[in-house]
């Protein structure tokens, strides 16, 4: 996908993070309108945080990730713990805290939720744009909630189909979790603005089907695929079971069961 993003370099704010160093560094704010969108460090009570801004429906909209506040924190506090569909799909039990490889990390919301349910999480995100935003959020989350995010919550930037195949046997995850982009049914306002910005950053994941065979060959116990309710099975492959959620479906491919 041809992209034309900039990094707005402001006085007394950090330089672009390493994954964004190839973007044009713009110091003159009036030049930012020449780009499809721009990254910059905003400031919240002295703590700089990475943000992406682009026009949507004629207005500038910004995307910043915070794994310890907002929707993510609400889901953690009021989401129903291990009774949630995502927990059931991953087969979580009180005596089983699996290691999960989230191979399509995106904004890290599902990963943060699974971490708060006790799982150890590794994430892979191929878009350097989304990975930069997520990496920035992880660093802030480590400070804000050390117990949850300081350990067992990591991100690699790269192509999952390749990185999964390079895992050693000791690194084999119990579960591989997949949630590739899927085109929305309509261009309705219901498509959340943050996901519209992610789509602007990453495109459509046209190779999503390739993830499933790789995941099935490398997960120990199961592969969980999150899909919109109206989407066909990934790779047209029927799962062992499906769990319906509000607007979404978790397709579960069971490989074997852990001895508990
Ligand atoms: C729908 S978003 C995931 C949302 C995420 N589950 C969350 O809770 O925020 C899909 C993400 O997967 C990433 N992705 C898709 N295919 C990938 C691949 N083969 N390797 C790594 N990342 C991939 C895309 O770049 C995109 O950021």
Q: What is the pLDDT of residues 119-172, one digit of tens each?
A: 999 999 999 999 999 999 999 999 988 889 999 999 999 999 999 999 999 999
Looking at the 3D structure of the chain, how many domains does it have? Answer: 2
The atom number, within ligand 1, closest to the CA of 163 reads 20
List pocket residues of ligand 1, CB cut-off 6 Å: 103-104, 106-110, 124-127, 130, 159-161, 179-181, 198, 202, 205, 211
Gap between the Cα atoms of 86 and 184, Å rounded: 21
Residue nearest to atom 1 of ligand 1 (CA): 181
Q: Are residues 118 and 169 in the same domain?
A: yes
Residue nearest to atom 12 of ligand 1 (CA): 104
CATH number at residue 99: 3.40.50.150
Residues of the chain above pLDDT 70, percent: 93
Would you tell me how many other CB atoms lie within 10 Å of the CB of residue 198? Answer: 20
Per-residue pLDDT of 57-77, as tens digits, reads: 989 999 999 998 876 676 666
Which stretches of 45-104 are assigned E, i.e. beta strand?
A: 47-56, 59-63, 99-102
CA atoms within 13 A on the CB side of 182: 19
Q: Are residues 20 and 131 in the same domain?
A: no
What average pLDDT does range 174-198 have in this prediction?
83
| Band (89; pLDDT cuts 50, 70, 90) | very high
Tell whether residue 115 is among the known ligand binding residues: no
- Ligand 1 centroid to Cα of residue 102, in Å, is 9
Residue 3 clears pLDDT 90, i.e. is over it: no
- Ligand 1 centroid to Cα of residue 11, in Å, is 33
Is residue 92 in a domain?
yes
What average pLDDT does range 175-183 have in this prediction?
94
pLDDT at 72: 66
Residue 256 clears pLDDT 90, i.e. is over it: yes
The atom number, within ligand 1, closest to the CA of 159 reads 20
CA atoms within 13 A on the CB side of 157: 13
Residue 213 clears pLDDT 60, i.e. is over it: yes
What average pLDDT does range 116-121 have in this prediction?
95
Is residue 259 in a domain?
no
Instruction: Please give the structure tokens belonging to residue 161.
Output: 């189909």
Tell whether residue 34 is among the known ligand binding residues: no
Q: Are residues 53 and 78 in the same domain?
A: no
pLDDT at 190: 54
Q: Are residues 30 and 134 in the same domain?
A: no
What average pLDDT does range 227-248 have in this prediction?
95
Q: Are residues 29 and 148 in the same domain?
A: no
Q: Which helix H or strand E contains 256, and what residues bound it?
A: none
- Ligand 1 centroid to Cα of residue 163, in Å, is 14
Q: Which structural domain, as residue segments, surrounds residue 220?
A: 70-254
């Amino acid at each position: 996908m041809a992209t034309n993003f900039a990094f707005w370099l402001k006085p007394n704010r950090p330089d672009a993070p390493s994954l964004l160093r190839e973007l044009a560094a713009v110091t003159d704010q009036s030049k930012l309108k020449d780009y499809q969108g721009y990254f910059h460090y905003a400031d919240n009570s002295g703590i700089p945080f990475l943000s992406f801004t682009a026009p949507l429906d004629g207005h500038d909209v910004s995307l910043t990730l915070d794994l310890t506040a907002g929707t993510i924190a609400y889901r953690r506090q009021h989401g129903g713990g291990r009774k949630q569909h995502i927990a059931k799909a991953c087969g979580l039990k009180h005596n089983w805290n699996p290691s999960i490889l989230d191979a399509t990390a995106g904004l890290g919301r599902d990963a943060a939720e699974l971490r708060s349910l006790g799982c150890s999480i590794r994430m892979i995100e191929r878009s350097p744009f989304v990975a930069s935003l997520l990496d920035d959020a992880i660093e802030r989350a480590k400070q804000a909630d050390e117990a949850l995010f300081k350990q067992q919550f990591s991100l690699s930037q790269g192509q999952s189909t390749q990185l999964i195949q390079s895992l050693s046997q000791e690194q084999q995850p119990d579960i591989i979790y997949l949630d590739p982009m899927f085109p929305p049914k309509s261009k309705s306002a219901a498509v959340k603005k943050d996901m519209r910005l992610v789509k602007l950053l990453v495109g459509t994941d046209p190779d999503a089907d390739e993830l499933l065979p790789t995941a099935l060959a490398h997960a120990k116990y199961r592969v969980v695929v999150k899909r919109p309710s109206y989407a066909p099975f990934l790779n047209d492959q029927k799962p062992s079971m499906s769990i319906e959620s509000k607007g979404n479906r978790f397709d579960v491919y069971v490989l074997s069961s852990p001895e508990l």
